[in-house]
Structure 1
Amino acid sequence: MTERPATPAPFTTDDYRARMARAATAAADAGLAGLLVAPGPDLVWLTGYRPTSASERLTLLVLAPGHDPVLVVPTLEAGDAERAPGAPALTLRDWTDGQDPYAAAVPLLAGGGRYAVSDDTWAVHLLGLERRAPSSTSFTALGEALPMLRAVKDTAELDRLAAAGAAADAAYEKIKNVRFAGRRETDIAADLAALLREFGHAQVDFTVVGSGPNGADPHHEADDRVIADGDMVVLDFGGLKHGYGSDTTRTVHVGEPTAEERRVHEVVREAQERAVRAVRPGPTCQDVDRVARETIIEAGYGDRFIHRTGHGIGVTTHEPPYMVEGELQPLVPGMCFSVEPGIYLPGRFGVRIEDIVTVTDDGVRRLNTTSRELAIVQ
């Protein structure tokens, strides 16, 4: 029987207090009057509070340098908010149906200034705040103002990301043993989802299964195509375990591949290997992208690598930083992101290989460790 790792200790109120203080300091350093955070990954990361569903009722965390954090919530959800692990580190201000919810929030913006608003904020709420806020108040996107707010992970976060990566690896090792030929893509996708849950994922976000020509679509949704002998199959899957993301891609082949298929796979494997080796403190995000892209260009497939080399990962499976041309953010220890070059030949097949990596003090650590060689499946 496989021994399962222990469940990590939950984050404490002190953890969330420190995050909110860090966010308020970052806001001040960026010249912001504060942060306005609606339900979504930023609110979960800052407070541990995840409303049971998206709602037209205003919920808003107000973080302002020099002031205690305040969470504005509907009265009917105040009980849930009070039970959030970060709740003791903030003040709750509730409002009741029939009242103007913005009347509870706008006094917290009385000093005016420029506020960064979380990217998940509903437009109706931002417009409501704009109508009622002092004329000296302006708003900007949190993702633009503080894109690296969640990018550097602490030890406890890295442990969760490593556990999620190990679970995805275990799912891959088992999926290689199932029969592919004669089954639909959706069948393999369902197998992958079940395996992710078997190995501890509470949430499955995606199970891309792109066989044959479907593999040339990087974000192909598994469909009823029957996988055949001779197909290249792209497997890209992930979700959340202990609240943190996994995301890995391997490309397998049903039966014996052609020489061209082996060559394309080897080009992608080499591009991925070189890009991972380029990860260390100091280089920029675009440097990682350039290393992967140059390898594929040299092999003659530059126009068939049609996406960025990577994306950050944490409480969501896609978040900053992004490994893409023009991103000049230097790599620093604690950053976690994917390295996933690919080659896509329309109407024929695609190849992608993806690992999550983290920047260490002196280099890089892979959080996915399964073989990146071309696997042959039945």
Structure 2
Amino acid sequence: MTKESPDLYPVARLAAAQEATAAAGLDALLLTPGPDLRYVTGYEALPLERLTCLVLPARGEAFLMVPRLELAAAEHSPASRLGIEFVSWEETDDPYAAVAARLGAVGKVGLADRMWAMQSLRFRDALPGAEQVLAGTVLRGLRMRKSPAEVAALREAGAAIDAVHAQVPGFLKAGRTEREVGRDIAEAILAAGHATVDFVIVGSGPNGASPHHELSDRVIQAGEPIVVDIGGQMPSGYCSDSTRVYSIGEPPAGFTKYYEVLRRAQEAACAAVRPGVPCEEIDAAAREVIAAEGYGDYFIHRTGHGIGLETHEEPYIVAGNTEPMAPGFAFSVEPGIYMPGAHGARIEDILVCTEDGGERVNHRPRDLVVV
């Protein structure tokens, strides 16, 4: 599957986004380079200080404002299938004023969630009478419910990162640094078919108690558990994310005890996935198992996050999120237990809500891997 796939970035998505814009009471969406623009058009535009912007009025014709030097790239992107006008601008033009002139009087516009502040402020000046809100409030309902093609892209990403985890035991040896291991993993992520490496976390010993530790020059020791959380973006644009825990020889007894609790908590949360279940109940399913065994204070983050064109997107699997699960929702289930100064553990799979439950896209064993 490639980023050019018409199933992955269908032409009909533009009309769906326009209908959602009108239904939300907005006059237009202004989508600059980032996941919102790519979702609607398939165009992976370069994020530059020069303005590239899809202007999507609630009523009327959409157009893509693009710097002249980026016009050829835009014309060769999936956006060329949409049948919209490409409006190129020269270095001495003011593209913000040009967008405002074409839009006319507007009262409320949605700005891409990842729009740079310098661009949102320029739009504020160019459209002084317009209230600015996040385009994500309009697009969230579309982006959360993955199409069959998007689910296939996530399966492909899951298989690719699983292939990397299969190689990790060969990279882990006492005496190597986290950074050395991380370098090998990053190379394997690209070799497995990813277009980019988004993150590599290798948390050995006490560093495993910091959920977002990433890498350091710490030397890995025998008898230590190691948290390996890795992910990247595929050529399709869709992301992978999976965590497994390894140990150089037998880990401490206390670690083995809570790792089994964690494994049961992750299974409980995965089993809770089905349409209609509030997102917070999946979080509660994992948290209740951990709290019942006395480790509740050591589970310090939400159970999961949505995934798609971004590693972290809606829906979030966290207390207070009453959004009901629906078929097509894709998200992580990744409870963790972290013992400050000692070690930590996290088990993470990506799941997709189906008509009658949840499908994992990661299939590596979830038991502790002793190297």
Within 5 Å, give how 1:99-118 maps onto structure 2: 99-118=93-112
Residue identity opposite 1:366 in structure 2: R
1:179 shift after superposition: 3.7
Instruction: Tell me what 2:326 maps to.
Output: 332
1:339 shift after superposition: 0.3
Compute the TM-score of the two structures, normalised by the length of structure 1: 0.94
| CA deviation string 1:84-137 (max 9, x = no partner) | 1122312111211111121211123313121111111111211111112152x2
Instruction: Tell me what 2:153 maps to.
Output: 160
Residue identity opposite 1:148 in structure 2: G
Residue 212 of structure 2 aligns to a residue whose secondary structure is coil
Q: Distance in 1 between matches of 2:3 and 2:92?
A: 41
Within 5 Å, give how 1:228-239 maps onto structure 2: 228-239=221-232
Q: Distance in 1 between matches of 2:126 and 2:320?
A: 37
Q: Distance in 2 between matches of 1:175 and 1:357?
A: 22
User: Residue 139 of structure 1 is aligned with which of 125, 132, 141?
Assistant: 132
**Which is worse superposed, 339-348 or 97-106?**
97-106
Q: Distance in 1 between matches of 2:79 and 2:250?
A: 54
Instruction: Tell me what 2:343 maps to.
Output: 349
Cα distance, 1:84–1:257 mapped onto 2, change above 3 Å: same
Q: Distance in 1 between matches of 2:154 and 2:114?
A: 23
Instruction: Tell me what 1:30 maps to.
Output: 24
Instruction: Tell me what 1:226 maps to.
Output: 219
Compute the TM-score of the two structures, normalised by the length of structure 2: 0.95
Q: Distance in 2 between matches of 1:314 and 1:155?
A: 13
Cα distance, 1:362–1:13 mapped onto 2, change above 3 Å: closer
Q: Confirm whether residue 50 of structure 1 aligns to residue 44 of structure 2.
A: yes
Q: Confirm whether residue 217 of structure 1 aligns to residue 215 of structure 2.
A: no
Instruction: Tell me what 1:122 maps to.
Output: 116
Query: Contact conserved, 2:3 with 2:42, CA < 8 A, in 1?
Result: no
| CA deviation string 1:168-214 (max 9, x = no partner) | 11111121233421111011111211221221111111110000000
Residue identity opposite 1:117 in structure 2: L
Instruction: Tell me what 2:240 maps to.
Output: 246
Residue 144 of structure 2 aligns to a residue whose secondary structure is coil
| CA deviation string 1:27-74 (max 9, x = no partner) | 2222222211010111112112222x3211111111122322211111
Q: Distance in 2 between matches of 1:204 and 1:376?
A: 26
Q: Distance in 2 between matches of 1:308 and 1:111?
A: 42
Alpha-carbon RMSD: 1.6
Instruction: Tell me what 2:265 maps to.
Output: 271
Residue identity opposite 2:97 in structure 1: A
Q: Distance in 2 between matches of 1:20 and 1:286?
A: 31
**Which is worse superposed, 79-88 or 204-213?**
79-88
Instruction: Tell me what 1:309 maps to.
Output: 303
Q: Structure 2: which 5+ residue stretches go unaligned?
A: none
Residue identity opposite 1:235 in structure 2: V
| CA deviation string 1:213-236 (max 9, x = no partner) | 000000002111000011110000
Query: Contact conserved, 2:172 with 2:248, CA < 8 A, in 1?
Result: no
Q: Distance in 1 between matches of 2:8 and 2:285?
A: 40
Residue 171 of structure 2 aligns to a residue whose secondary structure is coil
Q: Distance in 1 between matches of 2:8 and 2:159?
A: 28
Query: Contact conserved, 1:62 with 1:108, CA < 8 A, in 2?
Result: no
| CA deviation string 1:278-315 (max 9, x = no partner) | 11100111111111111111111111111111111111
Query: Contact conserved, 1:289 with 1:325, CA < 8 A, in 2?
Result: yes
Query: Contact conserved, 1:13 with 1:87, CA < 8 A, in 2?
Result: no
Q: Distance in 2 between matches of 1:268 and 1:119?
A: 34
**Which is worse superposed, 196-205 or 229-238?**
196-205
Query: Contact conserved, 1:213 with 1:349, CA < 8 A, in 2?
Result: yes
Count residues in correspondence.
369
**Which is worse superposed, 80-89 or 353-362?**
80-89
